[in-house]
């Protein structure tokens, strides 16, 4: 198998398996059919967060023993099991919590190991282009998930994507031998995270992007995980929201990210947070206008979708060289806490105070992230001005 064929099959499999995460946005709809509430959705995703965090913390030792590709193939089987259990659920019982745990395990394995497996077959000059494509395939898969559910129904959607995950598992297993032959770099999972290293990371300059990604992920979870509830309450089509968001993010990451790479990154992030805050506020004040609804989705795609990879790059750039691995692990932990942990809070907020209150909280979190970026941008400008005067 050639390098080109390998990357095409690999990225296609990643895109298909990413639909799994997109389907979590349909859990409120699925749970409503079996007597559940938004609080139940938050509780199940809380379990998902715990298992995902465990994967991030323990994966280093496991991959040293069995390698990268076997657990990546296993992630497809685990995600398929999770989706089948969700599809067959008849009530909010132990089975849905087990399904949530399996979702965290499968997604954690896939999300962490996918980029590492690809990095092992890439030469340094190939990484920027190929990782841009990988993020595009993953985002496309995430965006397609809710649309599939909208077209065929949540229950059938979970079953269909479970079959796709089984195909992904087979694809990753088939690629294992070829991966070994094509491997050109050593990019293993490093198990460097400890209480001591975590403390060192959070007292370094890298604390800022780590906190920022957690805030941004929380806003994303608040808007996306309960978008079906919002759309239903306002007589709108959530499929239109996710379609517009996905297209915007793909275009933004492929086109805009290259342009802004030459500009002050924290200043760009601060601006994008203004855009994201505007998107949340538009959702808060609009009622049932489809054009305004789609416009809010586009703004959200520009704000969050383009900002995320820049924040991740800043985490790597601000890391102390000897703490790079620990910094990126802390970044991943913060992201997973936001994207899977915050829905627990959001579900309770919706149940007790309603969607508008959740959107207000999301807007405040977005402002907090923007403020952190703005302060750092101002500090960087002062440093540059002082160096210029010297």
The predicted-structure confidence for 242-267, as pLDDT tens digits, reads as follows 999 999 998 888 776 565 555 688 99
DSSP secondary structure letter of residue 91: S
Please check whether residues 196 and 184 belong to one and the same domain.
no
Q: At what angle do helices 154-182 and 127-152 cross, to 10 degrees?
A: 160
Please check whether residues 135 and 225 belong to one and the same domain.
no
**Structural domain span for residue 332:** 192-390
Residue-wise pLDDT for 96-116, tens only, equals: 999 999 999 999 899 888 888
Please check whether residues 167 and 270 belong to one and the same domain.
no
Residue 338 to residues 198, 214, 329, 332, Cα–Cα distance (Å): 18, 5, 14, 10
Please check whether residues 104 and 224 belong to one and the same domain.
no
Q: Of 191, 213, 242, at which residue does a domain stop?
A: 191
Cα 269 from chain centroid (whole Å): 17
Model pLDDT, residue 326: 80
Give the C-alpha separation, 361 to 355, whole Å.
10
Please check whether residues 115 and 205 belong to one and the same domain.
no
Please check whether residues 5 and 129 belong to one and the same domain.
yes
| Contacts of residue 271, Cβ cutoff 8 Å, sequence gap at least 6 | none
Model pLDDT, residue 196: 82
* Cβ–Cβ under 8 Å, residues 147 and 239: yes
Q: What is the mean pLDDT of the chain?
A: 88
Model pLDDT, residue 263: 64
Q: Of 158, 191, 224, at which residue does a domain stop?
A: 191
Please check whether residues 28 and 173 belong to one and the same domain.
yes
Please check whether residues 184 and 223 belong to one and the same domain.
no
Please check whether residues 146 and 237 belong to one and the same domain.
no
Torsion of CA 376, 125, 252, 136, to 10 degrees: -120
Model pLDDT, residue 256: 67
Q: Of 129, 163, 191, at which residue does a domain stop?
A: 191
Model pLDDT, residue 376: 93
Model pLDDT, residue 380: 82
Asked whether the whole model's pTM tops 0.75, one would answer yes
Residue 138 to residues 19, 133, 255, 299, Cα–Cα distance (Å): 8, 9, 17, 20
Number of folded domains that form the chain: 2
Model pLDDT, residue 260: 55
Low-confidence ranges of the chain (pLDDT < 70): 124, 127-128, 185-193, 256-263, 387-390
CA quadruple 250, 253, 258, 259: dihedral sign: positive
Please check whether residues 282 and 352 belong to one and the same domain.
yes
Torsion of CA 41, 87, 334, 383, to 10 degrees: -100
Model pLDDT, residue 388: 66
* Cβ–Cβ under 8 Å, residues 358 and 220: no
Please check whether residues 384 and 287 belong to one and the same domain.
yes
Burial of 12 (0-12, 13-18, 19+ CB in 10 A): middle
Please check whether residues 123 and 228 belong to one and the same domain.
no
The CATH number covering residue 242 comes to 1.20.1250.20
């Amino acid at each position: 198998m050639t390098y080109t064929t390998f990357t095409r099959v690999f990225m296609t499999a990643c895109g298909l398996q990413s639909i799994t995460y997109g389907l979590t946005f349909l859990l409120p709809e699925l749970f409503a059919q079996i007597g559940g509430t938004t609080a139940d959705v938050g509780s199940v995703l809380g379990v998902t967060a715990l298992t995902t965090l465990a994967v991030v913390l323990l994966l280093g030792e496991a991959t040293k023993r069995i390698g990268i590709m076997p657990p990546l193939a296993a992630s497809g089987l685990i995600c398929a099991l999770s989706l089948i259990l969700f599809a067959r659920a008849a009530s909010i019982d132990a089975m849905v919590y087990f399904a949530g745990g399996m979702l965290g395990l499968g997604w954690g394995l896939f999300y962490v190991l996918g980029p590492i497996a690809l990095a092992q077959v890439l030469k340094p000059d190939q990484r920027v282009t190929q990782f841009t494509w990988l993020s595009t395939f993953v985002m496309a898969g995430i965006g397609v998930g809710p649309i599939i559910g909208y077209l065929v129904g949540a229950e059938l959607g979970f079953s269909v994507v479970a079959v796709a995950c089984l195909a992904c598992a087979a694809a990753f297993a088939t690629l294992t031998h070829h991966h070994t032959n094509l491997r050109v770099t050593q990019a293993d999972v490093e198990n460097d995270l400890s209480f001591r290293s975590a403390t060192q990371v959070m007292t370094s300059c890298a604390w800022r992007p780590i906190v920022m990604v957690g805030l941004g992920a929380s806003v994303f979870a608040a808007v996306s995980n309960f978008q079906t509830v919002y759309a239903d309450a306002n007589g709108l089509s959530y499929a239109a929201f996710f379609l517009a968001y996905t297209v915007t993010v793909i275009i933004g990451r492929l086109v805009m990210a290259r342009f802004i790479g030459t500009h002050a990154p924290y200043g760009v992030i601060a601006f994008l947070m203004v855009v994201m805050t505007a998107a949340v506020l538009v959702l808060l004040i609009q009622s049932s206008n489809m054009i305004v609804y789609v416009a809010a989705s586009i703004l959200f795609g520009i704000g969050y979708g383009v900002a995320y990879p820049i924040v991740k790059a800043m985490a790597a750039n601000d890391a102390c060289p000897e703490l790079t691995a620990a910094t990126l692990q802390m970044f991943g932990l913060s992201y997973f806490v936001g994207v899977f942990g915050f829905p627990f809070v959001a579900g309770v907020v919706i149940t007790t105070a309603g969607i508008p209150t959740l959107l207000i909280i999301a807007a405040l979190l977005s402002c907090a992230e923007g403020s952190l970026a703005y302060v750092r941008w101002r500090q960087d400008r002062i440093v540059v001005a002082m160096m210029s005067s010297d």
